[in-house]
């Protein structure tokens, strides 16, 4: 048994060409998210610039695996910590916990070696649970 505040998620992005992913032994498969300000490159398995005239792109299925904070294998220099918002508004009311009602969590998205997290931060890249109509 572990205290909940000692756990985090690690993320594996799954290939788009696989139509159905088997139920994982640990963690869960998450899908249905969108990326604003960038796109996922399935070939290189990193985020890249958006295609011309494309505002949002789908994120492939992800395998979220719980992990103890002090055992996290993620190399933070090779990922962009992207926020996930419920809506594209990217703002919400502060709740009593001090968090925005629109913020869901942060995911770590792999980046190409020629980029840094700061590169994607300056572009305002974020993930969304739903798109505006």
Which 3 state secondary structure label does DSSP give 5? helix
Which pTM was predicted? 0.88
Considering only CA atoms, which of 23, 36, 29 is closest in space to residue 87?
36
Distance, CA of 86 to CA of 8 (rounded, Å): 20
Tokens 């700061």 belong to 118
Residues in CB range of 129: below 8 A, 6 or more apart: 32, 33, 34, 84, 85, 86, 87, 104
Distance, CA of 52 to CA of 30 (rounded, Å): 27
Largest CA distance in the chain: 49
45-102 pLDDT, tens digit per residue, is 999 999 999 999 999 999 999 999 999 999 999 999 999 999 988 787 887 877 788 8
Cβ(117)–Cβ(111) below 8 Å: yes
Q: What pLDDT band is residue 25 in, cutting at 50, 70 and 90?
A: very high
């Amino acid at each position: 048994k572990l205290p909940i505040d000692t756990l985090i998620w690690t993320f594996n992005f799954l290939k788009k060409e696989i139509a159905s992913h088997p139920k994982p032994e640990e963690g869960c498969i998450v899908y249905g998210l969108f990326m604003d300000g960038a796109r996922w490159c399935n070939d290189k398995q990193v985020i890249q610039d958006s295609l011309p005239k494309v505002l949002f792109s789908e994120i492939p299925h992800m395998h979220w695996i719980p992990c103890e904070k002090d055992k996290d294998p993620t190399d933070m220099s090779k990922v962009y910590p992207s926020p996930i918002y419920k809506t594209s508004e990217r703002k919400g009311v502060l709740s009593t916990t001090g968090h925005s009602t629109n913020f869901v969590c942060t995911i770590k998205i792999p980046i190409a070696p020629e980029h840094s997290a700061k590169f994607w931060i300056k572009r305002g890249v974020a993930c969304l649970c739903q798109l505006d109509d």
